[in-house]
Amino acid sequence: MASTTLSSWALLVWEELQQRELAARDIFVAAGLDPSRLQDPNARFPVAGMQRLWQLAEEHSGDPAFGIAAGMRWNATTFHALGYAWLASATLAQAFHRLARYSRLVNDGSEFSLTTHGLQYLFSGGLKEATQGAVPVAEQAALVAIVKMCRMLLGESFSPAEVQFTFAPTPSTLALETNLRAPLRFGSERMGLLIDRQDMERPLPTSNPELIRCNEQIVLKHLSQLGQQQLALQVRQRIVEGLPSGRVKEEDIASALHLSTRTLQRRLLEEGVNFGELLQNTRRELAQNYIEDSQLNVNEIAYLLGFSDQANFTRAFRRWFGVTPSGWRRSKLATTG
């Protein structure tokens, strides 16, 4: 199955493109990613699409340090509940153990480990099955983000003992040295951070065991769902991408996933769902999200959901929610106003 990553990681790219007044929506579409899914904190994008997105973003920006700027946009919500569990950890070592253990939440095609080397710890890893060579801009963003995470716990003076990249030096090397304030090693087998033991084992005053427990429960719940419904997530993603063009027939989705229609039906049934349910539930959830976005009119929403006209969309919306789209909007405005 194709590996996926949290859409919140793509949100960093979107925000940086927006900041530079570049055509973020067009770049996402060119990478095969639906930018409307950025509104869903539980949505996932295929890793292959994310790799294309990073490359296109760097290309359109003309900035070899684009990944550094995007990585610096990391915040706790970028890694969902895992980000909050990180911030509540008792030590940096505990935080890294947690990140290695639950990295599948962020990217289910990745694998990381934390090992000790004398007076230092090494956190290293990457994609288990890379579909192409190293994508330097993506790797830069990841390591810059993790160093920022460390500084949120230990303070801005923190610097790792060494930062390891799998690619050769690039024009962004000087910018990396300035940001990371550490020796850089290029051409490593895996990307990683070497950190002194005294930094890793220093007790943190921000430790909060209760927050850790609550957020780890959320992480485990999502990992369980991810493992059980991997194909359903992929089908839902293909449905979202195909709705505007109307290419959401079962055979279209099966073909896009390189499956026969019969195999798709069987595997979805094993996960306790069927294609019709996924299509209707996806449309229903998106309809609710879109109707609460005042920037979209009803005609535009009907198009995004693959309806032939506004009337058909209105009938479906009334069936789902017992009220027209306009009526839903009026009631929301009255509630919030």
Q: What is the pLDDT of residue 336?
A: 46
- Which residue segment(s) compose the domain that 307 sits in? 229-336
- Residues 6 or more apart from 120 whose CB is under 8 A from it? 161, 194, 195, 196, 197
> Looking at the structure, do residues 154 and 303 belong to the same domain, yes or no?
no
CA angle 171–175–176, rounded 5-degree value? 95
> Looking at the structure, do residues 13 and 56 belong to the same domain, yes or no?
yes
CB-based burial, 122-146: b 16+ in 10 Å, e otherwise: bbbbbbeeeeeebbbbbbbbbbbbb
CA angle 166–6–69, rounded 5-degree value? 55
Q: Are 297 and 304 in contact (CB under 8 A)?
A: no
> Looking at the structure, do residues 81 and 120 belong to the same domain, yes or no?
yes
Bridge partner residues of 124 (DSSP): 113, 192
- What count of other Cβ atoms lies within 10 Å of the Cβ of residue 71? 24
Bridge partner residues of 223 (DSSP): none
Q: Helix, strand, or coil here: 59?
A: helix
- What count of other Cβ atoms lies within 10 Å of the Cβ of residue 198? 9
> Looking at the structure, do residues 250 and 165 belong to the same domain, yes or no?
no
> Looking at the structure, do residues 145 and 10 belong to the same domain, yes or no?
yes
Q: Which CATH number is 62's domain given?
A: 3.90.1520.10
What amino acid occupies position 135? V
* Total domains present in the chain: 2
Q: Is the pTM of this model over 0.75?
A: no
Q: Helix, strand, or coil here: 117?
A: strand
> Looking at the structure, do residues 182 and 299 belong to the same domain, yes or no?
no
> Looking at the structure, do residues 11 and 155 belong to the same domain, yes or no?
yes
Which residue in 290, 288, 311, 289 sits closest to 301, CA to CA?
Answer: 290
Could you give the CA distance from residue 242 to residue 240 in angstroms, rounded to a whole number?
6
Compute φ and ψ for 321, nearest 5 degrees: -120, -5
Q: Helix, strand, or coil here: 157?
A: coil
> Looking at the structure, do residues 17 and 101 belong to the same domain, yes or no?
yes
Joined tokens for residue 95: 């935080």
| Helices 80-87 and 136-154: angle between axes, nearest 10 degrees | 40
> Looking at the structure, do residues 203 and 279 belong to the same domain, yes or no?
no
Q: What is the pLDDT of residue 236?
A: 80
Consecutive sets of 10 residues in the chain, 337 residues long: mean pLDDT of each? 86 97 94 90 89 96 97 95 93 94 89 93 86 81 97 96 96 96 96 97 90 88 69 80 85 90 90 88 82 78 88 92 88 59
> Looking at the structure, do residues 214 and 269 belong to the same domain, yes or no?
no
Q: Which CATH number is 305's domain given?
A: 1.10.10.60
- What count of other Cβ atoms lies within 10 Å of the Cβ of residue 287? 22
CA atoms within 13 A on the CB side of 263: 9
Torsion of CA 52, 286, 18, 153, to 10 degrees: -80
Compute φ and ψ for 68, nearest 5 degrees: -65, -45
Could you give the CA distance from residue 97 to residue 103 in angstroms, rounded to a whole number?
10
> Given the DSSP bridges, would you call strands 162-164 and 184-185 parallel, antiparallel or unpaired?
parallel
Which burial class, exposed, middle or buried, applies to 289 when counting CB atoms under 10 A from its CB (0-12, 13-18, 19+)? Answer: middle
Could you give the CA distance from residue 33 to residue 184 in angstroms, rounded to a whole number?
32
> Looking at the structure, do residues 211 and 254 belong to the same domain, yes or no?
no
Among 208, 223, 238, the domain boundary falls at 223
Could you give the CA distance from residue 9 to residue 76 in angstroms, rounded to a whole number?
11
Joined tokens for residue 257: 């996933």
> Looking at the structure, do residues 85 and 199 belong to the same domain, yes or no?
yes
